[in-house]
Amino acid sequence: MELKDFIKETLSQIIDAVSETQEKYKDKHVLICPDDIQSEKGEYYIDNESHYEYYNRKTKVQNIEMDIAISVTEKEGNKSGIGIAKIINVGTSSENAIQNESVSKIKFSIPLVLPTSNTREYYQKYVKD
């Protein structure tokens, strides 16, 4: 596999994974790669404009760090494959094909806003003065 094909395939899979996850969790108030990230003292957040009448609320943005080893295997007959590299390989293989394997690492982060709990509602329900 050529380097440009490896990069295109890797980026395509990351983009597809983010898009599919955004779609899957859109009704659960999860924001993946939010478009309006603010920064203050090294912390990332989004503003929740609907809460300004009560207090200035900021929801923290988490950065999910990915550090993945990718293996590219080329077998005899010009067949190739790409996948997550195996850290431990237990067992034996009955395949007698000659193959070359190279392992590359890719590191990236995906900003994520997790669903939040309503603290005002929590305190009204569970905390008594």
Q: Range of 98's domain?
A: 3-126
3-state secondary structure of 16: helix
Among 52, 21, 31, which residue's Cα sits nearest to residue 116?
A: 31
Location of structure tokens 């007959």:
77
pLDDT at position 99, please?
Answer: 58
The total of structural domains in the chain comes to 1
pLDDT at position 92, please?
Answer: 42
- pTM, whole model, 2 decimals? 0.51
Q: Check if the beta carbon of residue 51 is closer than 8 Å to that of residue 57.
A: yes
Mean pLDDT by 10 residues, the chain (129 residues): 75 89 84 75 70 57 82 64 49 50 81 70 67
Sheet containing 31-32: which strands, arranged edge to edge? 31-32, 99-113, 62-75, 79-84
pLDDT at position 20, please?
Answer: 92
pLDDT at position 88, please?
Answer: 40
